[in-house]
Amino acid sequence: MALLKIRLSKPSEFQLPAAMKKSTILPKPSPSTITLILLPLLLLAFIYLFLFPKEFELQSLMSSCNTATYTAANFTDNVTRKPDFRLLIGVLTRADLYERRHLLRLVYSLQTNLTAQIDIRFVFCRLFKDDQRVLVPLEIMRYDDIMIIDCEENLNEGKTHAFFSSVAKLYNDTGKKPYDYVMKADDDLFIRLQRLIDSLNPMPREDMYYGFVIPCDSMDPFRDYMSGMGYVLSWDLVEWIATSELVKNNTVGPEDMMTGAWLRQGKRGKNRFNTKPAMYDYPIPVPIDTCSHEFVPDTIAVHRLKDNPKWARTLKYFNFTDGLKPSKFYPID
């Protein structure tokens, strides 16, 4: 018994190797530690069940998608409002008009919180100057809003047909309709985008032709054609223009008149809408026709803004600079 007592009182005789001195038995966790570990897990489970109440819905969604991008897109669709419609506005201009494009970008970028998807592209024909081949690519790198179509620069010798044809080919490779409407617009046209959206929203999405009726004193959209200042076609009409032999063989002439003739001869554009008096030419002191009149509050678009003073007067009427915050860095009276 003495020997046994000595062995029990001297545990050092049975020491483990130095590498094993630390006990492998973990201390018993306290209740507070368990709570700290479980609380985040319970919170994640609650969030999961709240967002995905159907059993294994998230897992099935993930397994049905091949890429993370597609999954993210689906999730975004669930939490963002679907736009009323999609509209492509092609502003027909010339490569050399850098200042005009800069002004239009400012004007349209300040119009936010729109209820439809509107994409704006500046459209001109092939570049033919050395400076254009440097300066225009800089614009594209910065803004990515330019469309260069396969034509020589012109006004009434087929550029509008080339625009519609190019749009149909460039955007029709997705297998679905990319836009509900396409608008051809001049670069001296100021458009109030939300007013345009509100006007287009109740319109048919097919066989639709919309704009300012010519002649100026006409209110009948079936009488002649829509002014080239800016008119809207439904996507099906754009596709028809791009593929119609009737159109392809008849492209030279006043572009807005030709568009009206195509639709009339092809028995297209049965849904027609006149925008008067909400679209009009810039008010001049002595109007030469009824295309021009004073500014009105429900304006959709103002045409013939040929210089900066006319742009300034128009933008001032519609309070475009009201949001400017005062600052010592730009004392503007």
pLDDT tens per residue across all 333 residues of the chain: 444 343 434 444 444 445 444 444 555 556 666 566 666 666 666 665 555 554 444 343 333 333 333 223 333 333 345 788 999 999 999 999 999 999 999 999 999 999 999 999 999 999 999 999 999 999 999 999 999 999 999 989 999 999 999 999 999 876 789 999 999 999 999 999 999 999 999 999 999 999 999 999 999 999 899 999 999 999 999 999 999 999 999 999 999 999 999 999 999 999 999 999 999 999 998 878 889 999 999 999 999 999 999 999 999 999 999 989 999 999 887
d(CA 259, CA 246): 12
Which two tokens mark 149?
Answer: 């179509």
- The secondary element (H helix, E strand) that includes residue 272 is strand 271-274
d(CA 192, CA 70): 34
**CA count, 13 A, side-chain hemisphere, 224:** 13
pLDDT of residue 234: 98
pLDDT of residue 287: 78
Task: Output the CA–CA distances (angstroms, integers) from residue 129 to 118, 143, 162, in the order listed.
Answer: 31, 21, 21
Give Cβ neighbours of residue 80 (< 8 Å, ≥ 6 apart).
none
pLDDT of residue 288: 83
First to last CA, the chain: 108
**CA count, 13 A, side-chain hemisphere, 181:** 30
Whole-prediction pTM: 0.75
Which two tokens mark 207?
Answer: 């066989």
d(CA 190, CA 282): 10
Q: What are the backbone dihedrals phi and psi of residue 250, each rounded to the nearest 5 degrees, phi first? A: -150, 65
> For residue 59, how many other CB atoms are within 10 A of its CB?
10
> 186 pairs with which residues across the strands?
92
* Identity of the amino acid at 19: A
**What residue ranges do the domains of the chain occupy?**
86-317
- HEC sequence for 1-32: CHHHHHHHHCHHHHCCCHHHCCCCCCCCCCHH
pLDDT of residue 52: 52
What's the CATH architecture for 86-317?
Alpha-Beta Complex (3.90)
